[in-house]
Amino acid sequence: MSDVIVVGGGVIGLSIAWELASHGAIVKVLDQSTVGREASWAGAGMLPPGNLAGERTGEGRLRALSCVLWPEWSEGLLAATGIDNGYRNCGAIEVSFDRNLDDEASAWEATGNKVEILSAARRRHLEPAISSNVKHSYRLPEFCQVRNPRHLRSLEVACLDMGVELLEGEPVCGWKATGQRVTHARTVSTDYAAAKFVIASGAWSRQLANAVGTEISIEPLRGQIVLLRCSPLPFRHVIQDGARYLVPREDGRILIGSTEERAGFVKQNTVEGVQSLLQFAKSVVPTLADAEIERTWSGLRPYSGREEPFIGRLPNQENLFVAAGHFRSGLQMSPGTAVLVRQMLHRQESSIPMAPYDLLHDSSDGDETEAHELLSAPNQVVQSQN
């Protein structure tokens, strides 16, 4: 029998499995399709900075904890698997054609993160390809990125090396329980026994919590990406304008992201989505008009309507836990989430306070209302600040 069954093999599930197996647990991961091919594969791999001493919110502390862990994890995975996940410090420049960015920059500074407000001349010096129509900008020199498909592959190989069983094509459809204790994860063909269970099923997590009578408000929010090929690269920093961004990869590729769409579980690219991304890219870096379009894709972010993901034990369940709802930040927050889950399952003191991630925690942040309003227009491409 396994010590732990993790349901879902995205970046959250695989990170948890690796962390637990590295600390001696016998772990099984059940995935309904192929591990590492959903939102975690589709994401852009941006890793904003964080400062543990200065962050005051649950979101900020988990981001900061993960920032500390990313270099260690990347080195550990490289040593264990020989796979370079592409974790790099590339820096980011936030740009705006109209919004004044002073408050945003001050907020980064107030939490102890390095920020440089850019004059037009300094911006031109750093990244001459950025449009001269940009009015405001600042730089986050500690912003990093990772090649998420490579990171997922390294996690998968590292898990297998540690003896984790990865079972693909095994959709969990419910639970077998005795009183308040889950004994098995049920699939169509098999009941899998374990001492503890973790729901890490991304945008699909709601159904699995519902199966034991718990409502968690996670739903899919689609994001589209257009991949360009452009050599030599016209810029080196990640360039962001609110929820839209350009992520340059060392091998001459540029990701343009992303939309936020309420489209159920339908993964596809749309004319409007792709057009709006291309338009955004040309407006920020005009020379991209000549770049080659290599491919497009979309993914389903687990949207929870609050700033923090759900990380905790399900109410009235002794041994059923959840780690889901990371929305736009699941890659970034994955190492921190895995460490917190390990500490929770082993009843150890947690690295940061756990209350903000509790299922019943009510985020009092005003952004929540804004996000709910954005979601009231079904099937529309919407933009928001992230």
Ligand X SMILES: Cc1cc2nc3c(=O)[nH]c(=O)nc-3n(C[C@H](O)[C@H](O)[C@H](O)COP(=O)(O)OP(=O)(O)OC[C@H]3O[C@@H](n4cnc5c(N)ncnc54)[C@H](O)[C@@H]3O)c2cc1C
> Which residues sit at the interface with ligand X, rule CB under 6 A?
7-13, 30-33, 35, 38-40, 42-46, 171-172, 200-204, 208, 223, 225, 257-258, 299, 301-302, 324, 326-332
Residue 326: CB minimum distance to ligand X, A: 4
Residue 94: CB minimum distance to ligand X, A: 14
What secondary structure letter does DSSP report for 189? S
Residue 244: CB minimum distance to ligand X, A: 11
- Convert 360-383 into a string of H (helix), E (strand) and C (coil): CCCCCCCHHHHHHHHCCCCCCEEC
Residue 131: CB minimum distance to ligand X, A: 22
Residues 6+ apart with CB under 8 A from 1: 26, 193, 194, 195
Asked if residues 255 and 246 have their Cβ atoms less than 8 Å apart, the reply is yes
Which residue in this structure is represented by tokens 């419910």? Answer: 174
Residues 6+ apart with CB under 8 A from 233: 248, 250, 252, 254
Residue 281: CB minimum distance to ligand X, A: 15
Comparing CB distances to ligand X, the nearer of 137 and 145 is: 145
CA distance 88 to 79: 17
Residue 205: CB minimum distance to ligand X, A: 7
- SS3 for 287? helix
CA distance 16 to 27: 9
Comparing CB distances to ligand X, the nearer of 51 and 332 is: 332
Comparing CB distances to ligand X, the nearer of 11 and 285 is: 11
Q: What is the DSSP track for 130-180?
A: S-TT--EEEEETT-EE--HHHHHHHHHHHHHHTT-EEE-S----EEEEETT
Residue 322: CB minimum distance to ligand X, A: 10
Comparing CB distances to ligand X, the nearer of 267 and 286 is: 267
CA atoms within 13 A on the CB side of 105: 19
The CA radius of gyration of the chain, in Å to the nearest whole number, is 21
Handedness of CA 191, 193, 196, 201 (dihedral sign): negative
| Burial (CB count within 10 angstroms: exposed 0-12, middle 13-18, buried 19+), residue 132 | exposed
Residue 58: CB minimum distance to ligand X, A: 16
Asked if residues 73 and 53 have their Cβ atoms less than 8 Å apart, the reply is no
Residue 371: CB minimum distance to ligand X, A: 14
Give backbone dihedrals phi and psi of 238, rounded to 5 degrees, phi first.
-65, 135
